Amino acid sequence: MNTETSTSSRRTTYTPDSLLEVAVAVFNDRGYDGTSMEDLARAAGITKSSIYHHVKGKEELLTRGVNRALDALNASLDALDTLEPLPDAGELDRVEQAVFRAVQILVEELPYVTLLLRVRGNTEAERAAQDRRREIDRRLAGFVERAAAAGVLRTDLDPHLASRLVFGMVNSVVEWYRPGPGRWSADDVASAVTHLVFDGLRRR
Amino acid sequence: MNTETSTSSRRTTYTPDSLLEVAVAVFNDRGYDGTSMEDLARAAGITKSSIYHHVKGKEELLTRGVNRALDALNASLDALDTLEPLPDAGELDRVEQAVFRAVQILVEELPYVTLLLRVRGNTEAERAAQDRRREIDRRLAGFVERAAAAGVLRTDLDPHLASRLVFGMVNSVVEWYRPGPGRWSADDVASAVTHLVFDGLRRR
C-alpha cells in the first residue's frame, strides 16, 4: 500500500492546521486503526518527537479532525434552528437548506467528513465522535419530522426512513467526489441532491 | 475488538455455503485486510487445515462472497435488458425496476453486498471485485442515460450525477439496515427508495 499521501509535501515546520491536514490524509488512506505515530511522522517528514511537541497522540489528531466536520455541521443546524417557529412551507425550506448546507460542508471539508464517516468506535475518541455524529443525525431527523408534522411532506413515506435515505445519499458523496478544475462544484452537487430529494427524477 | 460474530455457531462440519457465511461475517467485522486464516478458523471453530480442505485461501472466500452479490445484481440487470427497445415511459419503468431490485438484493444478500461495497483494492481478488462492481454501475448508469435520452427524466439534472446519487442512496442502506421482526422489510425499503428517487419528498 502506498503510505505517502498527495498532501504530504515534506516540510519541517507545521502549524496545528497543516499537521492536522497531513494526519487526516494518512488516516483516510490507511484507516485510523492501522495508522501509527511512526506512519504520521514519516508522512509529515518530521520526527515522532516533533509531532509530540504539537499533540499528545493520534487520538488528539482524530478528535480535532472530526471536530472540524462536526463543528461546521452543528453551526449550520444552529443557524437554521433559530428560525423557528416557521409557517408550514418554511418547514420544508428548512429541511431543504439543511440538506443543501450538509452537502456543501461535505465537499468543502471532504477529508474531515470522510474521517468522521469512517470512524469505527474501537477507542474512546472514536466513540465520542460517533456520539456527536448521532446527535447531528437526530437534529436532522428532527427537522424532517417537523416538516412531516406540518403536512408539507408526502404522507406515504415514513419520515424516519426518509431521513435515513436522504442523509445516506448526502453521505455517499464522500465515496466518489473529488474536487478539481472542470469537476462538479460543491454547489452543483448540493443543488442536484436537493432537487432530487425534494422533487424526484421524473419529468413533470 | 470482538472477533466472535453472531453467525459463528461453532459447528464441526460445514457446507461451502455455511463456511462462506461465517467467513463473510468475519471479513465484515474485522475488515478483509485485517482477517487471517487463523481468525477464520477460530470463528468457524475448526482448524486451519479443515478450511484449506474447502478453499485454497481467503482470496477464494472473498471472491465467492462478492460474486454472490454481483451475480444477483447482474441477473436482475439481464432480466431488464431483454425488455428493450421500450416506449418512452418504459425507459422510466426500467430505471425504477432496476432501483427497486437493487435495494431488494442489497437487503436479501446484506452481508455479501456489504463485503462488496467495502472492498479496498489491495489484492488481485479485490481489484477483480471492484472491476465487476464498476461494470454494474456502468450498466445502471446506462439505464438512467437511456431514460434521459427518451425525455422522461427532468432535464435540469445531469444524468451521470443523478445516477451516482441514486445508487449512493441505495448503497447507503448497508450502513444502517438490520433485518428482524418488526423492522422494515426489503420491500418497505425498496418502495421508499423508489418513491423518494422518482417523486421526491415534497407533498403535491
In a domain, B61, yes or no: no
Q: Which of A84-93, A133-142, B54-63, B162-171 has the lowest mean pLDDT?
A: A84-93
pLDDT band at A204 (very low <50, low <70, confident <90, very high): confident
CB spacing of A199 vs B161 below 8 angstroms: no
Helix (H) or strand (E) holding A103: helix A88-108
According to the model, what pLDDT value does residue A113 have? Answer: 98
Final residue before a domain boundary, out of B9, B36, B55: B55
pLDDT band at B88 (very low <50, low <70, confident <90, very high): confident
Q: What whole-number distance in Å separates Cα of residue B81 and Cα of residue B76?
A: 9
CB spacing of B162 vs A192 below 8 angstroms: yes
Residues A112-119 have a mean pLDDT of: 96
Contact residues, chain B, for A193 at CB < 8 Å = 165
Angle among Cα B59, B62, B66 to the nearest 5 degrees reads: 145
CB neighbour list of residue B69: distance below 8 Å, 6 or more residues apart: B105, B109, B112, B113, B115, B116
In a domain, A204, yes or no: no
Q: How many CB atoms lie within 10 A of CB A168?
A: 20
CB spacing of B169 vs A171 below 8 angstroms: no
- Residue B178 contacts A, CB cutoff 8 Å: no
Q: Which domain holds residue B6?
A: 1-55
Residue A180, min C-alpha distance to chain B (Å): 16
According to the model, what pLDDT value does residue B6 have? Answer: 47
Contact residues, chain A, for B153 at CB < 8 Å = 201-203
From B105, B110, B157, B111, select the one nearest B136 (Cα to Cα): B105
Final residue before a domain boundary, out of A55, A75, A93: A55
Identity of the residue numbered A63:
T
- Residue B85 contacts A, CB cutoff 8 Å: no
In a domain, B204, yes or no: no
pLDDT, mean over chain B: 91
Shared-domain flag, residues A77 and A23: no
In a domain, B60, yes or no: no
- Residue A150 contacts B, CB cutoff 8 Å: no
According to the model, what pLDDT value does residue A10 have? Answer: 54
Query: Is residue A189 within 8 Å of residue B161, measured between CB atoms?
Result: yes
Q: For an interface test with B, which of A201, A202, A203 has the most B Cβ atoms less than 10 Å from its Cβ?
A: A201
**pLDDT greater at residue B122 or residue A127:** A127
Output the pTM of the full model: 0.89
Rg (alpha carbons) of chain B, rounded to whole number: 19
Shared-domain flag, residues B81 and B175: yes
Q: Is the pLDDT score of A3 beyond 50?
A: no
Counted domains in chain A? 2
Q: What whole-number distance in Å separates Cα of residue B27 and Cα of residue B30?
A: 5
Q: What share of chain B has pLDDT > 70, as a percent?
A: 92
In a domain, B123, yes or no: yes
Shared-domain flag, residues A112 and A154: yes
According to the model, what pLDDT value does residue A48 have? Answer: 94
Q: What is the CATH number of the domain that holds B72?
A: 1.10.357.10
CB neighbour list of residue A143: distance below 8 Å, 6 or more residues apart: A80, A91, A94, A95, A98
pLDDT per position as a tens digit, B118-162: 998 889 999 999 999 999 999 999 999 999 999 999 999 999 999
From A155, A82, A134, A192, select the one nearest A147 (Cα to Cα): A155
Shared-domain flag, residues A89 and A181: yes
Shared-domain flag, residues A95 and A11: no
Give the three cell numbers for residue A122: 474501537
ipTM metric: 0.87
According to the model, what pLDDT value does residue B100 have? Answer: 98
Give the three cell numbers for residue B120: 479496498
In a domain, A60, yes or no: no
pLDDT band at A86 (very low <50, low <70, confident <90, very high): confident
Q: What is the CATH number of the domain that holds B25?
A: 1.10.10.60
In a domain, A184, yes or no: yes
DSSP A154-194: -TTS-HHHHHHHHHHHHHHGGGT----TTSPPHHHHHHHHH
Contact residues, chain B, for A196 at CB < 8 Å = 157, 162, 165-166, 197, 200
In a domain, A73, yes or no: yes
Q: What whole-number distance in Å separates Cα of residue B55 and Cα of residue B41?
A: 12
Q: Is the pLDDT score of A85 beyond 70?
A: no
According to the model, what pLDDT value does residue A52 have? Answer: 94
Residues A165-169 have a mean pLDDT of: 97
Q: Is the pLDDT score of A1 beyond 50?
A: no
According to the model, what pLDDT value does residue B4 have? Answer: 45
Nearest to A157 among B157, B176, B192 (CB): B192
Nearest to A197 among B184, B188, B200 (CB): B200
pLDDT per position as a tens digit, A146-163: 999 999 999 999 999 999
pLDDT band at B25 (very low <50, low <70, confident <90, very high): very high
Shared-domain flag, residues A92 and A162: yes
What residues pair up with B153 in beta bridges, in sequence order?
A202
Residues A170-190 have a mean pLDDT of: 94
Shared-domain flag, residues A86 and A169: yes
Give the three cell numbers for residue A186: 460543491
**pLDDT greater at residue A187 or residue B34:** A187
What residues pair up with A202 in beta bridges, in sequence order?
B153
Give the three cell numbers for residue A144: 424532517
Q: Which of A31-40, A50-59, A77-86 has the lowest mean pLDDT?
A: A77-86
Please, which contacts does B148-152 make with residues 24 or more away whose CB atoms are closer than 8 Å?
B149/B91, B150/B86, B150/B88, B150/B91, B150/B92, B151/A203, B151/B88, B152/A202, B152/A203, B152/B88, B152/B89, B152/B91, B152/B92
Q: What whole-number distance in Å separates Cα of residue B109 and Cα of residue B51?
A: 23
According to the model, what pLDDT value does residue A74 have? Answer: 97
pLDDT per position as a tens digit, A23-53: 999 999 988 988 999 999 999 999 999 999 9
Shared-domain flag, residues B130 and B164: yes
pLDDT per position as a tens digit, B61-86: 999 999 999 999 999 999 998 765 67
Query: Is residue A13 within 8 Å of residue A30, measured between CB atoms?
Result: no
Handedness of CA A122, A128, A131, A137 (dihedral sign): negative
Shared-domain flag, residues B75 and B114: yes
Q: Is the pLDDT score of B5 beyond 50?
A: no
Shared-domain flag, residues A69 and A110: yes
